[in-house]
Amino acid sequence: MRHALILAGGSGTRLWPFSTAGLPKQLVPLLQGRSLLDIAVERATSVVPTSQVWLAAGEQLRTAVESVAGLQADRLIVEPSGRDTLPAVALGCAVIAAADPDAVVAVLTADHLIEPLESFAATLDAAFRLAEERDDALVTFGVVPDAPATGFGYLELGEPLAGGHVVSTFREKPSLELATEFLAAGPSRFLWNSGMFVWRASTLLRAVDAFVPESAPLLREMGCAYGTPAWDVLAREQWPAVRKLSIDYGVMEPASTSSGFTVAALPLDARWLDVGSWPAYGEALGADADGNAVGAARAVLHESRGNVVASSDPDHLVTLVGCEGLVVVHTPTATLVMPAAEAQRVKELHALVAEVAPDLA
């Protein structure tokens, strides 16, 4: 059967101060009172039965995600602690495989906007069919670049395959010069790496066996033990030794050069927005005639252009006069002001905040 596994981990530090350790960005009601996770679950349940939609999250988020609308209580997979995406994905696939040995799993993100839904559903169906037909397929979704972005990884494409291409190389976040070359080469050569995948659960676990053999047996054992008393012992005594590793580094990159697997990319013909920074949040909101994106219940902007304004306090009034290209974010406990061009540096700022005011980080 077809399943969806939504990854709800990640700290989202570049959306501080809305996003904090206790309430990361995917859980914050950023868009008309809805969180990105709410939207992700709704998107998944529109293409996979509710009973086959799973959510992976860290123990620290258990309470926050248990009440997500559309998620069945027994479909929550809680990691003992964050160990990056490979352990999260492998553990999730192992739990799903224990329930359904023939499972084909779509691994989806909790912090992206994808529109229209129909286009996403069509691409997801094609990916499912490819994984169902080939037991060596590790399918990823590539987004057609519309700018020389340096904040995304890229998929370098090889020969055509089933409506997409074989991935010949994973290219890390490039320099502006390289990103410009990738854009000029066109979408038949380079796509943005969306971080979403489809594969048979058994194929993914076989890849973990091949490329991360030191962690694979424990991840399989924990998948079978999930929900039993044996889980608690494994989580306490053995999980902390699991190597921190991303799914791209740990599986996708070595699989792309292995004869035992075929890594394929299907182009995602949809608007895809990684809401990973304040300018991206502004893009998700949409701008007014002056280029201002406002995510605040009360705001007055006078002779100001190209700003992103956000507030989590419905009673607080945010005002700007003669401002251009700023990000202004207000919460009851912290305020952020910066040029939008410096948005990637919020991660640096967050590290400093964690030192001087850890309760607000």
H-type alpha helices, 134-257:
176-185, 201-211, 216-225, 229-237, 247, 253-255
Task: Find, among 110, 180, 145, the residue nearest to 265 by Cα.
Answer: 145
Q: How far apart are the first and last CA of the chain?
A: 41
User: Which residues lie below 8 Å from residue 122, measured CB to CB, with a gap of 6+?
Assistant: 269
State how far the Cα of 27 lies from the Cα of 38, in Å rounded to an integer.
8
Q: Residues 256, 167: contact at Cβ < 8 Å? A: yes
pLDDT, residue 9, reads 79
**Residue position matching structure tokens 């499912």:** 128
Over residues 41-53, the pLDDT tens digits come to 999 998 999 999 9
User: Which residues lie below 8 Å from residue 318, measured CB to CB, with a gap of 6+?
Assistant: 296, 298, 299, 300, 309, 311, 328, 330
Q: Is the domain 2-274 a CATH 3.90.550.10 member?
A: yes
> Residue 115: in which H helix or E strand, if any?
strand 112-115
Q: What distances in angstroms separate CA 157 from CA 72, 100, 131, 256, one per listed residue?
A: 38, 32, 18, 11
Flag whether pLDDT at 358 surpasses 90: yes
Over residues 234-270, the pLDDT tens digits come to 999 999 999 999 999 999 999 999 999 999 999 998 8
pLDDT, residue 290, reads 98
State how far the Cα of 185 lies from the Cα of 333, in Å rounded to an integer.
46
State how far the Cα of 134 lies from the Cα of 311, in Å rounded to an integer.
48
Q: What is the mean pLDDT of residues 103-107?
A: 98
pLDDT, residue 23, reads 86
Query: pLDDT higher for 346 or 33?
Result: 346
All structural domains of the chain with their residue ranges:
2-274, 278-360
- pTM, entire model: 0.92
**Residue position matching structure tokens 């997801």:** 124
